[in-house]
Amino acid sequence: MGRYVARRLLLTIPVLIGASFLIFAMVYALPGDPIRALAGDRPLPESVQAALRAEYNLNDPLLVQYGKYALGLVQGDFGTDFSGRPVLQTITDRLPVTATLTGVAVVFEVLIGITAGVLAGLRRGSFLDNLVLVSTTLLVSIPVLVLGFTSQYVFGVRLGVVPVAGISEGLYSYVMPGLVLASISLAYVARLTRTSLADSLRADYVRTARAKGLDRRTVVIRHTLRNSLIPVVTFIGADIGGLLGGAIITESVFNIPGLGRAVFDSVSRQEGAVVVGIITLLVFFFIFFNLVVDVLYAVLDPRIRYE
Amino acid sequence: MSTTPSGSHAVGTGTERVGTAAPRTGAPVLEVDDLHVEFRSRGPVVTAVRGVSYSIAPGETMAILGESGCGKSVSAQAIMGILDIPPAHVTGAIRFEGRDMLTMGAEEQRKIRGPGVSMIFQDALSALNPVYTVGDQIGEMFRAHRGTSKKDAKAQAVELMDRVRIPAARQRVDDYPHQFSGGMRQRVMIAMALALDPKVLIADEPTTALDVTVQAQVMDLLKDLQRDTGMGLILITHDLGVVNEVADRVAVMYAGRVVETGTIDDVFTRPAHPYTRGLMSSIPLLEDKGHRLNPIVGAPPTLSRIPSGCSFHPRCPMARRGPGGGDCVSDVPLLREVAPGRRAECHYSEELLHG
Amino acid sequence: MSDRDPAARAVDPQSSDLRHDEVEAGSTSVLAAPDVDPTDEKQTSLWGDAWKDLRRRPFFWIGGALAVFFLLMALFPGLFARGADPRSCTLSNSTGAPSAAHWFGFDQQGCDYLAQVVYGARNSLQIGFTAVIGLLVVGVVVGSVAGYFGGWIDSLLARVTDIFYALPLILGALILLRVGPQMLVFGHPVPILSERGPGAIAIALVIFGWMTAMRLVRSQVIAIKSSDYVAAARALGAGPLRILVRHVLPNAVAPVIVYATISVGALIAAEAALTYLGVGLQRPNYSWGLQISEGQNLLRTAPHLVLIPSVVLSLTVMAFVMMGDALRDALDPRQRS
């Protein structure tokens, strides 16, 4: 197991480097004028441009540029906006909000998704099963953007049971946005759990468990649940990326002052550096989270530990 | 009723067959009586097992021989009670120590699985749960049926692993199934099945997935364990060689029915059913080198379209349209005693035996 | 990391993990657990069986009908717009509610909303389809090369895939579309990427979305290349390209086709999201994402501005998700003889 974790850690390093280089290339290397690219249509006096060019080491050769850029990232320098405020500041201010929102979403995704999937998987062909099937198809089809506005209108504006926007009501204000953010992932988790459970129930080792005279409860809980959760866990890990993208939209729709909203605002205000800086952080977080999921996967499935 | 073993008997070498004409010691421990298994799903009904009857005495090894699809595995799974009841539909009687399992409640049936009758399967890799250690899975038998503590269960698992000749049992008890070789995994399954000293062990193609040398080791192990415990062994296989080495009696199955039963010697040297004879003649002998092989013409029927009358008639060299009661195309032959201790399902068995 | 993609698992969990397959390879005999119909003897091909199954599924027909409907809307907008021109706007009609004469009312400029929605379909479907085709091409080529040749080629491509996987679709596309217009390759602006049109969005979606398709193809190719008929082809002297194209690929594509169908819907939704965020299509192009974005501030007073394009967008996505679902169930090997 230790060797497995070490190998996973080692493999993460090229990914970290590669991903940051990819972003670097897109933003600072490929554009003819990166400052112009980041600023968009925003007018910048020449002196500011020259200062920024020096700050981003744009006059250095490519690899040196990247080296300094990477070094900066490691030290927490995610760039500055055009008024000189470091992106790191924005990040520390807003990270807790986004973390809460994403956390709520993951909780919903896991609790509702897995429960629905297990119930449906155990009672194939029943009314409950078909209900889960139909509702997940619907949920998967409704983009987060649409679900956001629709639920904001129906539950916020018309019915008034949830705050329309903002986080003035503490944790309760995260419920609707969290549900919206989790919706598509929840649907996928439910379906995956259902299929996975159904597969496990048909597996040969379940047949063996029944031949051993174990009672149904033991067979299902001990011999199918853990096996079925293996693919679900890995899905949830990889899906966090989708959640991060969806958080940008959800925070924008519900006006939640997190990192996602900051990205949205920065796009409209042509603050390219902020956009890139926050997204870089989100990518790093995603990579780290996947590492955690890899380890969790090995805990659940012993076959992985020894490869 | 069933006699308990009194220690090991005189041991022969691995190649010597044990019990040529082993007398049946006491009442049968397991009796299958006119077993029918149907599968009803979207399409037409498929009858996988059409009236199978056989019995096992303590200490006896009965081989169920037949091609793929003849219903041998399904009948075994029906005995174990592990078929999904819809779509499967089981009728007949399965008497374990005199009590019909099919009339018992599900909970009572379950209590027999493991301590009374147990089963091992063909592919040990998929039959063992990959996420639990072998010690855990073997120990589960004790924990679930006898309420043993985890520690004690594990200790008993180590003992069992020793008994099935897995080297370094104490170290390997915490290993996972995928860390064992095929033969060792099969031994783990055997250990699991033997944990509670069952009266009958059903082995469904236990060696088919193994190398020939490993096959021999596993069969020797089964045979030795059977001698030690006096349990009945039902060996399901399509491998004639394995049957010859290990079994006392054999039941030949074809298209969901038992077409012949008897001792190994009798059935193999003088078959009473054309199908069995076809099987025997299809085995290539060393002196046949250079000659054509002798397969049985045709293929086994699909279970949704069983031929009328004798199900073997389209492939039978002896099939004929006979007088009343003996028409192979329209009259279904019944399993009957055609010689002392031998039963066969053919209108013309006597001809085959004496002709 | 890259071998456990969410959509791949959701689409076909069994085939996307090779070891999973191997463990499950020792399955029970068909008779003991007949999901299949052992009475049906006609041996048809994978696609023949799939079509027979597909015909029976209501989701396939509903989804298909919707997809055809929107396809027609994209191809012949004039037929659906009831004669209204999206460009003829009268300010006095601003934010008018839906009525009998104008089914979808008016937007802030007083332009007919139905016409806007109809013309928006063209961009959305165009982007969805081109992006999926691009994604398929890249995914199939990279996946089959990685899977078939293995060794260091596979390792290298796997690392590249991992790196792209680290950038989620929306995040990566956001950056690319933001700075794309400024990019220079060998001193020249990148052709389609530099205009902020449907092509740019499609390219961005392909660049950050090809990985799952690659993974699906790769694992299928790995499973197939060790099969008997490939060995036979090789023994008969067929070269790698011929084997790949004629023998391996036709059998490898089934899960990818399902994924592609569902992706049309997912990418249409992604385009709407990117446009809403401000990096997608801009005026004077039509897009449902734009309509939603422009209408969001008037949600209380003129909800139809947001809700109508939302419903239409969802129905379009649903069409392809339903078809993809039906296709996946029809191709599921566990339900075939």
Model confidence at C15: pLDDT above 70: no
In this prediction, residue C42 carries a pLDDT of: 47
Q: Confirm or reject contact between C52 and chain B (CB < 8 A).
A: no
Q: Which residues, numbered 69 to 88 in chain B, qualify as contacts with chain C under a Cβ-Cβ cut-off of 8 Å?
A: 69, 71, 73-74, 77, 83-84, 87
Residue of A nearest to C297 (CA): A253
Cβ atoms C65, C328 nearer than 8 A: no
Chains touching B (at least 3 CB pairs under 8 A) are A, C
Over residues C118-128, the mean pLDDT reads: 90
Residue C93 and residue C305: Cα distance in Å, rounded?
13
Compare CB distances from C26 to B48, B73, B123 and report the shortest one's residue.
B123
User: How close A204 comes to chain C (CA, Å)?
Assistant: 6
* Mutation target among C29, C179, C308, C332 for the A interface, most CBs of A within 10 A: C179
Of B114, B176, B189, the CB nearest to A213: B114
B105 interaction partners in chain A (CB closer than 8 Å): none
pLDDT at residue number C45: 66
What are phi and psi for residue B221, nearest 5 degrees? Answer: -60, -45
Q: What percent of chain C has pLDDT over 90?
A: 29
Task: Give A126's contacts (C-beta < 8 A, 6+ positions apart).
Answer: none
Q: How far is B327 from chain C (nearest CA, A)?
A: 27
pLDDT for B8 beyond 60: no
Q: What is the mean pLDDT of residues A6-10?
A: 90
Please answer whether residues C149 and C157 qualify as being in contact, where contact means their C-beta atoms are separated by less than 8 angstroms.
no
Strand positions, DSSP E, chain C = 184-185, 188-189
Q: Smallest Cβ distance to B144: which of A218, A226, A227?
A: A218
Tell me the C-alpha distance between C66 and C75, whole Å.
14
Mean pLDDT over residues A161-172, rounded?
A: 83
pLDDT range class, residue C23, cuts 50, 70, 90:
very low
User: Is residue A204 within 8 Å of residue A172, measured between CB atoms?
Assistant: no
* Other CB atoms within 10 Å distance of the CB of residue C122: 19
Q: Chain A interface residues facing chain B, Cβ-Cβ under 8 Å? A: 203-205, 207-215, 218, 222-223, 226-227, 230, 300-303, 306
Instruction: With CB atoms and an 8 Å threshold, state whether B131 touches A302.
Output: yes
pLDDT band at B12 (very low <50, low <70, confident <90, very high): very low
Mutation target among C66, C163, C334 for the A interface, most CBs of A within 10 A: C163
Closest chain B C-alpha to C25 CA, distance in angstroms: 8
Cβ of B130 within 8 Å of Cβ of A300? The answer is no
CB A129 within 8 A of CB A256: no
A214·B178 Cβ contact <8 A: no
Region C210-227: mean pLDDT is 87
- Strand B232-237 to B61-65 pairing: parallel
User: CB C1 to CB A15 under 8 A?
Assistant: yes
Of B43, B73, B126, the CB nearest to C31: B73
Q: What is the pLDDT of residue B179?
A: 92
**B118 to A211: CB separation less than 8 angstroms, yes or no:** yes
Distance CA A20, CA A32 (A): 19
Would you place residue B76 in the very low, low, confident or very high pLDDT band (cuts 50, 70, 90)? very high
Confidence label for B298 from pLDDT (cuts 50, 70 and 90): confident
Exposed e or buried b per residue across B193-213, where buried means at least 16 C-beta atoms within 10 angstroms of its C-beta: bbbbebbbbbbbbbbebbeee
Average pLDDT over residues A172-184: 93
Question: For residue range C126-142, what is the model confidence (pLDDT) as tens digits?
Answer: 999 999 999 999 999 99
Residue C145 has pLDDT above 80, yes or no: yes
pLDDT at A209: 93
pLDDT above 70 covers a percentage of chain A that reads 100
pLDDT band at A111 (very low <50, low <70, confident <90, very high): very high
Q: What is d(CA B285, CA C96) in angstroms, rounded to the nearest whole number?
A: 94
pLDDT of residue C8: 40
- The percent of chain A in helix, strand and coil, each rounded to the nearest 5, is 80, 0, 20
Q: How far apart are CA B42 and CA B44, in angstroms?
A: 7
Chain A closest CA to B114's CA: distance in Å?
5
Confidence of residue C260 (pLDDT cuts 50, 70, 90): very high
Give the closest of A211, A214, A227 to B131, CB-based.
A227
**A48-99 pLDDT, tens digit each:** 788 777 777 777 777 888 888 888 888 888 888 877 788 888 889 999 999 9
Percent of chain A whose pLDDT exceeds 90:
41
The backbone torsions φ and ψ at residue B64, rounded to the nearest 5 degrees and listed phi first, read -105, 115
d(CA B226, CA B216): 15
CB of C272 within 8 A of CB of C288? yes
CA distance B234 to A21: 65
Q: Does C28 touch chain A (CB under 8 A)?
A: yes
Mean pLDDT, range C154-179, rounded to an integer: 91
With a cut of 90, say whether residue A29 has pLDDT above it: no
**Dist CA B251 CA B64 (whole Å):** 5
Nearest-CA distance B110 → chain A (Å)? 5
Token representation of residue B311: 């199900």
Which of the two residues, A122 and C12, has the higher pLDDT score? A122
Mutate to test the interface with A, among B41, B82, B205 (most CBs of A within 10 A): B82
Give B111-140 pLDDT, tens digit per residue.
889 899 999 998 889 999 999 999 999 999
Q: What is the mean pLDDT of chain A?
A: 88
The pLDDT of residue C57 is 85
Q: Which pTM value belongs to this model?
A: 0.82
Tell me which chain C residues have a C-beta less than 8 angstroms from the C-beta of A32. 182-184, 187, 189
Q: Which residues contact B173 (CB under 8 A, 6 or more apart)?
A: B133, B134, B135, B138, B154, B157, B158, B161
Local confidence band at C30 (pLDDT 50, 70, 90 cut-offs)? very low
Mean pLDDT within B68-81: 88
Flag if A143 and C292 touch (Cβ within 8 Å). no
Q: Which ipTM score applies to this complex?
A: 0.89
* Percent of chain B surpassing pLDDT 90: 34
- For C71-119, write each residue's pLDDT tens digit: 998 888 877 777 667 777 777 767 777 777 777 777 777 788 888 888 8
* A36 touching C (Cβ < 8 Å): yes
Nearest CB among A209, A215, A226 relative to B131 is that of A226
Please state the rounded mean pLDDT for residues A161-182. 88
- Position C55 scores a pLDDT of 84
Kindly state the average pLDDT of the residues A143-157: 90
From chain B, the residues in CB contact with A215 under 8 A are: 110, 144
B-chain residues near C37 (CB < 8 A): 41-43
* The residue type at A92: T
Contact indicator for C250, C180 with CB cutoff of 8 Å: no
CA atoms within 13 A on the CB side of C136: 21
